[in-house]
Amino acid sequence: MTAIALSGTGLFTPQQAISNAELVEAFNEYVRRANAAGHEPALQPSSVEFIEKASGIKSRYVMDKAGILDPDVMCPRIPERPDSQISILAEMAVAAARDAMKAADRKPEDIDGVIVACSNLQRAYPAIAIEVQDGLGIEGFAFDMNVACSSATFGLQAAADMVARGNARAILVCNPEICSGHLNFRDRDSHFIFGDVATAFIVERAEESDGTNSWEVLGTKLRTMFSNNIRNNFGFLNRAAPESRDTKDKLFVQEGRKVFKDVVPWVSELILGHLAEAGLQASALKRIWLHQANVNMNDFIARKVLGRDPLPGEAPNILDEYANTSSAGSVIAFHKHSSDLAPGDLGLLCSFGAGYSAGSVILRKRH
């Protein structure tokens, strides 16, 4: 088997951020106006205390703050661009990709494929990945894939398999997410959940990997199980049913508590089973980079996997600053909290989300 490396990561962070206090103020003003206009049943206000306690989120980066915080709009305002201009999602991916290529010491001519793996693709076609490929001057092939919050780990396995088979020397995987575009900012249960960001990473043959933070992919394990508890019914058939085209289910909807209960044991078992198959004990892991949806959920999973409370920094959370960034979350945690580890150290990256879908990746630091 050809040894495969995750050899460089990149991050694009939007310039604008919204604190919980700002978000709640806008939401509560919307509630006040709706109730004054006689909304039935009366809407309930949101609270900063609830958001921080229930999720661990304190802030989020967004592509357009003004639209989200305007009680008359409550949605980002992102003008359409002419087809002659790079689309905003591809632009974010290119920025993260340049960072990843620099970290991996790779030039466009070293890369044979691009995968854009994310939850929120802004159009049907041409693939965003082909636009990213064009923007970076990469030859070869490119395609989009969507496995919701697990897109990055599924993309990583797809890339690793293609490199191992000799179908590409190196593949660039990008996870651009404008989650604010599919979030219902008028929904009290979920208006605080998501943020915008883009991550990217390079997958290549380990023996050719020169990056300063290069990790061998010891194994990947993917799982899916159908559930309606996280769902978004937006799609091209919406126009064929105009009577329900703008209903709430055309944005992100979830049964948060049910998701919590289903996913914590499911993902913990996936990780423990994956480690057992690899002949490893959880105690061998120096770090766990989990999907970033909820701090309490991550604490539960880390506790189940390690059999004890995680030490500070052992299962890093970036949720407080970034909120849930869908496919990019675990990659941000890895990007920000992996370079301090030593050659030979083991870590585990794990995504989970809608589908349900989950992916576990065991990594060993090379150099």
Instruction: Report the nearest approach of ligand COA to the CB of residue 2 (Å).
Output: 33
50 binds ligand COA (CB under 6 A): yes
184 binds ligand COA (CB under 6 A): no
Report the residue number whose CB is nearest to ligand COA.
256
Identify which of residues 210 and 269 has a Cβ nearer to ligand COA in the complex: 269
Phi and psi at residue 56, in whole multiples of 5°? 85, 0
Q: Does 47 bind ligand COA (CB under 6 A)?
A: yes
Interface mask toward ligand COA for 53-92; x: CB under 6 A: -xx-------------------------------------
Largest CA distance in the chain: 67
Q: How far apart are CB 193 and ligand COA at their closest, in Å? A: 6
Instruction: Verify binding: residue 151, ligand COA, rule CB under 6 A.
Output: no
For residue 63, the 8-state DSSP code is: S
Q: DSSP letters of 110-133?
A: G--EEEEE-S--S-SSS-HHHHHH
The residue among 160 and 297 lying less far from ligand COA, judged by its C-beta, is 297
Of 24, 361, 319, nearest to 197 (Cα)?
319
Nearer to ligand COA, 211 or 353 (CB): 353
Nearer to ligand COA, 43 or 218 (CB): 43
Tell me how far, at minimum, the Cβ of 217 lies from ligand COA, in Å. Answer: 24
Concatenate the DSSP letters of all residues of 286-337 into one string: EEEEE--S-HHHHHHHHHHHHSSPPPTTTS---HHHH-B-GGGHHHHHHHHS
Between 13 and 119, whose beta carbon lies closer to ligand COA?
119
149 among known catalytic residues: yes
Stretch that binds ligand COA, among 13-21, 49-57, 89-97, 135-143 (CB under 6 A): 49-57
Does residue 183 touch ligand COA according to CB under 6 A? no
β partners of residue 201 = 9, 173
Q: Catalytic: which of 118, 149, 174, 350?
A: 149
119, 221 in Cβ contact below 8 A? no
The residue range among 43-51, 95-103, 153-161, 238-246 that interacts with ligand COA, by the rule CB under 6 A, is 43-51
Specify the residue, 54 or 280, whose C-beta has the smaller distance to ligand COA. 54
- Decide: is 149 part of the binding site for ligand COA (CB under 6 A): yes
CA-CA distance, 94 to 12, in Å (whole number)? 9
Q: Hey, which residues between 342 and 361 contact ligand COA (CB under 6 A)?
A: 353-354
Please list the residues that pair with 114 across neighbouring strands. 142, 172
Tell me the site size for ligand COA, rule CB under 6 A: 21
Contacts of 135 (CB under 8 A, 6+ apart): 86, 90, 91, 94
Q: Residue from 259, 301, 346, 349 that binds ligand COA (CB under 6 A)?
A: 259
Alpha-carbon torsion angle 128, 132, 133, 135, nearest 10: 140
3-state SS assignment for residue 89 = helix
Q: Binding segment for ligand COA among 85-93, 103-111, 249-257, 308-316 (CB under 6 A)?
A: 249-257
Sheet holding 215-224, edge to edge: 141-145, 113-117, 170-178, 196-205, 4-12, 215-224, 357-365, 346-353, 285-290
Residues 292-321 that bind ligand COA (CB under 6 A): 293-294, 297
DSSP secondary-structure letter at 46?
P
What residues have CB less than 8 Å from 360, skipping those under 6 apart? Answer: 153, 220, 221, 222, 270, 271, 274, 348, 349, 350
Q: Does 257 bind ligand COA (CB under 6 A)?
A: yes
d(C-alpha 223, C-alpha 117), whole Å: 16
Q: Binding ligand COA by CB under 6 A: which of 188, 286, 303, 336? A: 188
Query: What are the catalytic residues?
Result: 149
Under the rule (CB under 6 A), what is the footprint of ligand COA?
46-47, 50-51, 54-55, 149, 188-189, 230, 254, 256-257, 259-260, 293-294, 297, 324, 353-354
